[in-house]
Structure 1
Amino acid sequence: MATPTGKFVWYEYMGNDLKAAADFYTHVVGWTARDGGMADFPYEILSAGDHMVAGMMDIPAEARAMGARPSWMGYIWVEDVDAALPKLTAAGGKGYKPPSDIPGVGRFAVVADPYGGAFMLFRDAGGNPPPPPPAGTPGLVGWHELHADDGAKALDFYCNFFGWKKTSDFDMGPMGVYRMFETGHGEQGGMMTRMPQTPMSFWLYYVNVDSVDAAAERIKAKGGQIINGPHEVPGGQWIVQATDPQGAMFALLSAKR
């Protein structure tokens, strides 16, 4: 049985207006949203059909004090969060929030790789994440893209730390080399050195939709901004990159325009 170690198992949005964010993404992506049922802590759960995909919350005060802005974060599964954190820092990564429990859900820590990409280490309370619907299902995250301070070194870090493997390189000319990787659960994304105009490293998550053209119109209708696309990428899929009305960057992916 394949271990879920190194697999993206959850995604989380932190913003300035929880209800407005839920309204935007349910309209654009087609997710359904429901209250997470946490006492004294507003939290929305986003689902694609019966499968829970992501959560949404307002930026916590401590994170806001550190300069956090509206953004998406990914949770990567590990066997033991407490054991993984010192290994990550020894490899040059950073810990932003120490291991903490989410009652009845699991344990997590907020961290970053040595080249600036922030994410969560996570271990669910049940022992294993539930299997997702088939790849390509609308509403699932279909691609994970890291814009790093150093794309080549970042890929080496993730391969060494999580056991990921590089699958191929794609020469983007002046934009550098795009390095694709698999996590033991199929090809999951790519990494590149961030462009000079990109102020900081970040993970960009691409959500599957039926049609990027139709989704792009929904983004604009709800006050989002298109920053790239729609256009075709190698492999024949179509993408659009955008920011939501609160300034968080996200992307959409489909097999047809």
Structure 2
Amino acid sequence: MTTAAQFASVRYLVDDVQAAVDFYTTHLGFTLRSNPAPAFADVTRGPLRLLLSGPATSGARATPADLGTGGNRIHLIVDDLDTETDRLRSAGVAFRSEVVRGPGGRQILLADPAGNLIELFEAAR
């Protein structure tokens, strides 16, 4: 089995998780990797892991309201979210959200200099 660290993960916020799974697996050659809850699934195609997050997921709740319908971002897995946020805050990096806890773990959003979102994610233990 391929581990999560071997993928490049991108989170897409979707209105209907099952419809998104059906679309990506039927039309674009993705394979369902996991669907642990109706609010979330992930599909893969080669080294791309697409995280399909419905409105009830922590990923959707963490998105700042001023982004409108946007909210797609790079998803980076970290071992210790608290250590990473402390390190980045010490370096002067500003965050776009507070830490949000959900069924799969905890996450926080920051933006690159161009405003592109990056999610730091620590899986539930």
Tell me the TM-score range normalised by the shorter chain.
0.5 to 0.7
Q: Is the 8 A contact 1:10 1:74 kept in 2?
A: yes
**Which of the pair is proportionally richer in strand?**
1
> TM (normalized to structure 2)?
0.62
Residue type at the aligned position of 2:49: V
Residue type at the aligned position of 2:50: A
CA gap 1:92/1:116 in 2 versus in 1, 3 angstroms: farther
RMSD (Å) for aligned C-alpha atoms: 3.6
Where do 4+ consecutive residues of structure 1 move more than 6 Å? none
Give 1:45's match in structure 2, choosing from 42, 45, 52: 42
Report the count of equivalent residues: 117
Instruction: Say which one has the larger Rg.
Output: 1
Identical amino acids, percent of aligned pairs: 26
For residue 63 of structure 2, give the secondary structure of its aligned residue in structure 1. Answer: helix
Q: Is the 8 A contact 2:35 2:42 kept in 1?
A: yes
The one-character-per-residue Cα deviations of 1:78-111 (angstroms, maximum 9, x if unpaired) are 34211222332343433223234444x4432222
In structure 2, runs of 5+ residues without a counterpart are: none
The whole-number CA distance in structure 2 between the counterparts of 1:113 and 1:93 is 9
The whole-number CA distance in structure 1 between the counterparts of 2:23 and 2:14 is 12
CA gap 1:25/1:72 in 2 versus in 1, 3 angstroms: farther
2:83 is aligned with 1:86: no
The residue aligned with 1:228 is none
Q: Is the 8 A contact 1:11 1:55 kept in 2?
A: yes
The one-character-per-residue Cα deviations of 1:222-242 (angstroms, maximum 9, x if unpaired) are xxxxxxxxxxxxxxxxxxxxx
The whole-number CA distance in structure 2 between the counterparts of 1:67 and 1:74 is 15
The residue aligned with 2:10 is 11
> TM (normalized to structure 1)?
0.35
Q: Is the 8 A contact 1:75 1:119 kept in 2?
A: yes
Matches within 5 A, 1:51-66: 53-59=49-55, 60=60, 63=63, 65-66=65-66
CA gap 1:96/1:107 in 2 versus in 1, 3 angstroms: same
